[in-house]
């Protein structure tokens, strides 16, 4: 089955915190998302809510030296730092709507996570869920992710609706689970392909701010799409062989 072969190839090429294969009969969804939308888990202190903004991207280097240079350049880029800081603030605001006063904390800031084709700046924001709130309240407060919309979120969504020529569909949506115990773990549907009628559809995006350079943002979308496309090439080569 080519869709399942695509998942296997993607798992080998770009292992990520969230790997998924869904077969809906007339289409399949295959992904390797690096990014949490929101997580809810039981702890001794209460229900902990976590958002982990991922924004700021560079390609992986061909050598360890180039990789380290790309990391240093990414962390020193004022545009990338400003964009990421905005998204930390947005995550704090989203979590603050459903958590106990005084529990929202940035527990990690401006760390680097590496994947097969890209590296990202990531931070961690969490808080303790307020009494009387459940997983659906958490989902409503945090969806869509700030990294896939913008700030202020409502106005950013309006601009996206006005300017983007096609609907996003699943792209940027939520993939994961709710449990009967009250836990929840949702990823953002990025680095994802949809197979329908033997066609593969892949979407990728970059965040636009006032001082973005269009050519660099376009290049970022190409780099982000590369893992899924490379997995598809491997499957095609195997089928042709």
Domains of the chain by start residue, with CATH: 2-240 (3.60.120.10)
Residue 127 or residue 239, greater confidence: 127
Cα–Cα distance for residue pair 20/31, rounded to 1 Å: 5
> Do 201 and 60 touch, CB atoms closer than 8 A?
no
Q: For position 161, what pLDDT does the model report?
A: 94
> Of 154, 150, 111, 145, whose CA–CA distance to 36 is shortest?
145
Pair 7, 22: CB distance under 8 Å = no
Write down the pLDDT at residue 241.
41
Answer yes or no: is pLDDT of 38 > 80. Answer: yes
Digit-coded pLDDT (tens) for 75-133: 999 988 988 999 999 999 999 999 999 999 999 999 999 988 889 999 999 999 999 99
Share of the chain above pLDDT 70, in %: 98
Which of 132, 112, 103 minimizes the C-alpha distance to 34? Answer: 112
Q: Which residues are marked as active site?
A: 120, 147, 171, 191, 207
> Which residue matches tokens 């940035």?
106
Between CA 188 and CA 34 the distance in angstroms is: 8
Computed over every residue of the chain, the mean pLDDT equals: 92
138-143: which pairs have CB atoms within 8 A and are 24 or more residues apart?
A: 138/38, 138/40, 138/49, 138/98, 138/184, 139/38, 139/174, 139/184, 139/186, 141/94, 141/95, 141/97, 141/98, 142/37, 142/38, 142/51, 142/94, 142/95, 143/37, 143/38, 143/174
Predicted confidence band of residue 239 (pLDDT cuts 50, 70, 90): low
pLDDT tens column, 9-32:
999 998 999 999 999 999 999 999
Residues 6+ apart with CB under 8 A from 23: 3
**Mean local confidence (pLDDT), 180-208:** 92
> Does this model's pTM top 0.95?
no
**Region for residue 98 given its phi and psi (left: phi exceeds 0; alpha: psi -120 to 50; beta: otherwise):** alpha
Identify the pLDDT of residue 135.
Answer: 92
Check: CB of residue 21 under 8 Å from CB of residue 9. Answer: no
């Amino acid at each position: 089955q080519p869709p399942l072969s695509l998942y296997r190839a993607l798992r080998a090429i770009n292992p990520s915190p969230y790997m998924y294969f869904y077969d809906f009969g007339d289409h399949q969804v295959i992904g390797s998302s690096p990014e949490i939308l929101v997580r809810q888990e039981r702890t001794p202190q209460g229900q902990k809510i976590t958002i982990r903004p991922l924004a700021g991207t560079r390609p992986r280097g061909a050598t360890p030296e180039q990789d380290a240079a790309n990391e240093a350049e990414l962390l020193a880029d004022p545009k990338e730092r400003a964009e990421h800081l905005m998204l930390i603030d947005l995550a704090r605001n989203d979590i603050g709507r459903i958590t106990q006063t005084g529990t929202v904390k940035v527990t990690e800031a401006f760390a680097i996570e590496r994947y097969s084709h890209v590296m990202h700046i990531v931070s961690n924001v969490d808080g303790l869920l307020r009494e009387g709130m459940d997983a659906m309240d958490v989902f409503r407060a945090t969806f869509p992710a700030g990294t896939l919309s913008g700030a202020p979120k409502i106005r950013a969504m309006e601009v996206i609706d006005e300017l983007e020529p096609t609907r996003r569909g699943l792209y940027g949506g939520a993939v994961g689970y709710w449990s009967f115990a009250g836990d929840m773990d949702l990823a953002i549907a990025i680095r994802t392909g949809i197979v329908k009628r033997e066609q593969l559809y892949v979407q990728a995006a970059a965040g636009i701010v006032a001082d973005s350079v269009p050519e660099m943002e376009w290049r970022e979308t190409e780099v982000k799409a590369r893992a899924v496309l490379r997995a598809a090439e491997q499957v095609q080569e195997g089928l042709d062989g």
